[in-house]
Amino acid sequence: MRRRLDPYTMILVAWSVATSVSAQLLLRHGMSGLSEVGGIELYTRALTHWAVLAGLLAYVLSTVTWLAVLSRIDLSVAYPLASLNYVFVTALSGWVLRETVPLLRWIGTAIILVGILVVAYGERQSPTRPLEKL
Amino acid sequence: MPILVVILASIAGAVGGQLSLKRGMNRVGRVGRRSQMVWTRGLSSILLGLGFYGVSTLLWLYTLSKVELSYAFPFVSLSYVAIIFGARFGLQEQLHPSRLLGSLLIVTGVLVVSLS
């Protein structure tokens, strides 16, 4: 059974990806301050650091939202759409964090974005569009 | 163990995890307003999927501690191909042309990103 990609599901995908990216940034921020700590102390310090805790919470949110996404659309649609992750990360590091992003990475990210749009556009079409039409 | 084996195991774990999570949610039912979900029906597959995912993440972290990201990243593109095959033959999903073309573009994009 094929279901159309409705706006509500698209919002769920975006939310799942946004929380996942936030989780990665928060965890990296939290752990980077602990690079000199080792052993058991690393874990106790990490698990009481606000950014690490917020990052873990964001991961839980992202996973729960992802389960909701999977309940609503096929995996062969949801998985490609999740690569929005790379688009967010590249855009964030380039425009917000002001890191130098190589041109080739912009080009690759743009190709990924086109792929996402192709998948999403296809799912917005009639739900019964047959395979033979191509 | 050669790092290549660890990378491939990490990718396989991520793909297996997604397939298992999807299988679980297919049994649970659609999440949304006025939906009738039965969490117990899909719980074992969901837990298995989360387990796969955890192992895959640990293997990936191990990989990144041994080799450069630019070496490991191209292998991520394999996961899109594996998901397509898994969804088709494991979950009986229909591979509409837009899904194949879109995934192919994403694979290309990931490979281009990994060149940079």
Residue type, A66: W
- Exposure letters A109-128 (e unless 16+ CB within 10 A, then b): bebbbbbbebbbebbeeeee
Task: Please judge whether B115 and A104 are an interchain contact, meaning their C-beta atoms are less than 8 angstroms apart.
Answer: yes
Residues of B in Cβ contact (< 8 Å) with A131: 94-97
- The C-alpha atoms of residue B113 and residue B116 are separated, in whole angstroms, by 5
Residues of B in Cβ contact (< 8 Å) with A104: 112-113, 115-116
Chain A: which residues have CB within 8 Å of chain B? Answer: 2, 8, 63, 66-68, 70-72, 74-80, 83, 86, 90, 102-105, 107-123, 125, 129, 131, 133-134
**Nearest CA to B67 among B10, B12, B16?**
B10
Task: Please judge whether A111 and B101 are an interchain contact, meaning their C-beta atoms are less than 8 angstroms apart.
Answer: no
Identify the band that residue A131 occupies on the pLDDT scale cut at 50, 70 and 90: very low
Residues of A in Cβ contact (< 8 Å) with B111: 108
Give the number of C-alpha atoms closer than 13 A to the C-alpha of residue B60, restricted to the C-beta side. 15
B37 in Cβ contact with B28 (< 8 Å) = yes
- The C-alpha atoms of residue B78 and residue B2 are separated, in whole angstroms, by 18
Q: Above 50 in pLDDT, residue A1?
A: no
Q: Record the tokens describing residue A99, joined without a space.
A: 């890191």
Average pLDDT, chain A: 86
Q: Is the ipTM of this complex over 0.85?
A: yes
Identify the band that residue B25 occupies on the pLDDT scale cut at 50, 70 and 90: very high
Lowest mean pLDDT among A10-14, A44-48, B106-110: A44-48
A123 in Cβ contact with B98 (< 8 Å) = yes
Phi-psi region of B20 (alpha: psi -120 to 50; beta: other; left: phi over 0): alpha
Lowest mean pLDDT among A37-41, B27-31, B97-101: A37-41
Query: Average of pLDDT values for B17-33?
Result: 92
